Amino acid sequence: MNKQAVIEKEKTTERTAKYHILVSDAMSQEGLLPLLENANVHCVEAYVDEVEDLTQFDALLVRSATKVTEELLQKMPNLKIVARAGVGVDNIDLDAATKHGVVVVNAPDGNTISTAEHTFAMISSLLRKIPQANASIKAGEWNRKAFQGSELRGKTLGIVGFGRIGTQIAKRARAFEMSLLVFDPFLTKARAEKIGVTPASLDDVLAQSDIITVHTPLTKETKGILGMENIAKTKPGVFLINCARGGIIDESALKHYLANGHIAGAALDVFEEEPAQDKELLEFDNVIATPHIAASTKEAQLNVASQVSEEVIRFLEGQPATNSINLPTLSKEIYEKIQPYYDLTKRMGNLLSQVMKTPVQEIEVYYGGNITDLETSITTRSLIAGFLQPRVDAAVNDVNAALIAKERGITYGEKHVENTFGYSNLIHAVVHGEDRHFDIKGTYIKEYGARIVSINGFNVDFVPQGHLLYIQHNDKPGVIGRIGQLLAEHDVNIATMQVGRKQEGGEAIMMITVDKTVEEDVLKAVRKIEDIQFADKIEG
C-alpha cells in the first residue's frame, strides 16, 4: 500500500471509528494490538502537546511521563477513562478525574514476576559478588580469592511485606532450600502454612534472618522501617535488599552500618532520591545497584500495555472496569449522595488497619438508618480498600479490594440492621483477628461531617483525620494529666481530647488529636506511664 493510500485509510478509520484513543507515552506495540487491530478504534500515538484537538478522545493511555492534571482534563471533555500502563498513579490527579467523571485504571500485577525475578537476581549477585568479579576480570585481573561468596541453601530469608511479589519470591527461595520468615500484619497462619513460610514479628525477622528483602508500600509507617534502631537488631553480617520503594531502608542508617561492618552487603534498585544522588553510598564495594529497573522487562512492558489496552476496550464497550483506582462509574447524582459515606468508610478502614496489627480473618460491616437506601456495596468496598491499602504492596481500589482480601485469607460481608443508636445513619465495622477483634462505629452528619462515635464499645466523638493518639488506660485520677504533661514536655500540642469509659474506675480510652505526628520515642514514654495499657498513633 502506497503512502497516500495509508493516509486515506487512516482518515477513513478516524471518521468511522466509535472510539478515539490517545496513547501519550511510549508503550509496547505488541501490547497495544488490542487497540491497533480493533476496527472500532482510532488510536493516536502522540504527546498531548502535539495534538491540536484533544476534545475527540474517549480514552487516554499513559505511563509516568504524561501528567494528567485538572488543566488537561478540562481540555478533554469527552474523556471517559485514563489508563496507566503500570502500577503507580502519582502522575494522575485522581480527585480531578473523579470530579470530571473519568475512571482511572492501572495494571496492578503486570510486573509482579519481573520484580520478583530481579529481586532474586540481586540476592544471588550480592552473595556471590558477581558484579564485583565481573568488573575485576574486565579490568584484566584474575583474583579468585577476592570473590569468595556464600550459598543460598540453608540461609534464612526474611521477607518484610507478603503481597504478590513477596509470595513469588518465597516460591523461588523454597526451590533454593532456604528457610523463610515473613513479617506481614495480614498474613494468617492458614495462608502461611499453604505457601510454606513461617510468620514472625518484625523483631524476629530482623534478629534471625541472614538476608532481608523489603516488599511493602512506602507509607508513613514503613518509611525508614529499616533505620538506625531496627538495623541494630539484625544479625552481624546481614544482607539487605530493596527492590520495592526508595525510603523503606534509611540510606543514612545503611551507610552507618555498612561503614562499621555490621551489614555484609546491600542490593538496591530504588533510592530515596532518583536518579540516585548519594555517591558515598554507591562507593561502598559491597553495595550493588541498578537504576530502578526491577519492572523493566520486555514481558512486563508487554503485560502492562496489553492489560490496560484490553481494559479500556472492555470499559468503552460498557463493561465495568476491573482495576479502577477511583470510584466505579456512577451517575453524578448517585456519586454526590454516596460520597460522604464513601469517604467515611475509607477513613474507618484505614483507622482499623492501623490499630489492628495482628493477622485478620474477617471483616463485618453493618448499616443502619437512611444509608440503607443507597448502594452500600460501594461503601463496603471502600472500607475494605481503606483497610488493605496501608499494608499491601500494590495499589488497592474499590474493585480489586475483594480479590486482594481473598488472596490474604480475609472474608467480609455486610448487613442492614434496624438499630442506629439514635443516629440518622450508622456504619458499624468489626474486624476479627486470630486472637482479638476490634470494632468502631461511624456516622455522617451534614452539619458536622464524618464522625467516629464508638470504639470497642466506648462512646467517643471525633473526626477521623489528622494526627491522632489512641490510648487505652485504667480510669484513675491523674492519668490524663500525666499524659498532657508528657506531651507538653515533648512539644506536642493537643488540639482535642475525647475520653470514654464504661464504668467509674474501670477500663477507659482516650482519642487525642495533636498538631503533628507523635514520634516513636514519645509513644514509648506514654506507654511507660502507670495505668496505661496501650498507646499508638493513627494518621488520618
Residue-wise pLDDT tens for the chain (540 aa)?
233 333 334 444 566 789 999 999 999 999 999 999 999 999 999 999 999 999 999 999 998 889 999 999 999 999 999 999 987 787 899 878 877 878 899 988 788 899 999 999 999 999 999 999 999 999 999 999 999 999 999 999 999 999 889 999 999 999 999 999 999 988 888 889 999 999 999 999 999 999 999 998 887 888 999 999 999 999 999 999 999 989 999 999 999 999 999 999 999 999 999 899 999 999 999 999 999 999 889 999 899 999 999 999 988 987 777 788 876 555 556 777 888 998 999 999 999 998 888 888 899 999 999 999 988 988 998 999 899 987 776 667 676 777 788 888 899 999 999 989 889 999 999 999 877 899 999 999 988 899 999 999 898 898 888 899 999 999 999 999 999 999 999 999 999 998 888 888 888 999 899 999 899 899 999 999 999 998 988 887
CA dihedral of residues 271, 277, 280, 281 (deg, nearest 10): 10
User: Is-contact 375 337, C-beta < 8 A?
Assistant: no
Dihedral of alpha carbons 72, 73, 79, 81, sign: positive
Give me the pLDDT at residue 5, please. 35
- What distance in Å separates the CA atoms of residue 481 and residue 493, rounded to the nearest whole number? 14
Torsion of CA 263, 265, 269, 272, to 10 degrees: 30
Write down the pLDDT at residue 80: 92
Q: Which active-site residues does the annotation give?
A: 245, 274, 292
Q: What is the pTM of this model?
A: 0.68
CA separation for the pair 386, 339 (Å, rounded): 14
